[in-house]
Structure 1
Amino acid sequence: AAAPAAPARASGEEIKSPMVGTIYLQANPTSPAFVKVGDMVEVGQTMFIVEAMKTMNPIPATRAGKIVEILVEDAQPVEFGEPLAIIE
């Protein structure tokens, strides 16, 4: 039997969390988000910050392209390997 279909997601490459922690979409509550859907990003550009054990860890884009989907909310807990965004 075929596996159940996963929910429809944009095609492209997933940016995954390299650690367990709390994700932030901007540097602080009053600053703009690092990235938003439709933005073009370069390799190494900071997309998010994951806080782990009181350390802020920037999460860079692993490829250049356009952000087609952001899969997380600001200040939510994330797991190792959890998809954060999709770039195509």
Structure 2
Amino acid sequence: MALKTIHAPIPGTFYRAANPGDPPFKAEGDAVAVGDTVGLIEVMKTFTPVIAEEAGTLRAFHVGNEDAVMAGQPLYDIEA
């Protein structure tokens, strides 16, 4: 199995859940299917979902909830 790092497609604020108090979309160790939402990136009150493009197991997040991210910055690792 190969470990792949997924990068932020756009700059903004990364959210691991849809709303404060909600469970995260995915946690470390969770199975991820193609099309699953892993997080959201917010820019000026517009939320863009971070969608998994391949299946595997989410191994680690490189950013925390509500962290500012830049385009191209590592977000998470997936083992496929």
Normalised-by-shorter TM-score class: over 0.9
Partners in 1 of 2:61 and 2:36 — Cα distance? Answer: 15
For 1:1-88, list aligned pairs within 5 A.
Answer: 12-88=3-79
Q: Which ranges in structure 1 are unaligned for 5 or more consecutive residues?
A: 1-10
TM-score, structure 2 length as denominator? 0.93
Q: Which amino acid aligns with 2:13?
A: T
What is the total number of aligned residue pairs between the two structures?
78
Which runs of structure 1 show a deviation greater than 6 angstroms over 4 or more consecutive aligned residues? none
Task: Measure, in 2, the Cα distance between the counterparts of 1:48 and 1:16.
Answer: 12
Q: CA deviation at 1:53?
A: 2.1
Q: What is the Cα deviation at residue 14 of structure 1?
A: 1.1
Secondary structure of the structure 1 residue equivalent to 2:5: strand
Which whole-Å CA distance do the structure 2 matches of 1:74 and 1:67 have between them?
Answer: 16
> Could you tell me the percent identity over the aligned residues?
40
Q: What is the identity, as a one-letter code, of the residue corresponding to 1:86?
A: D
Q: Separation in 2 of the partners of 1:17 and 1:48?
A: 10
Distance 1:47 1:72 in 2: 12
Gaps of 5+ in 2: none
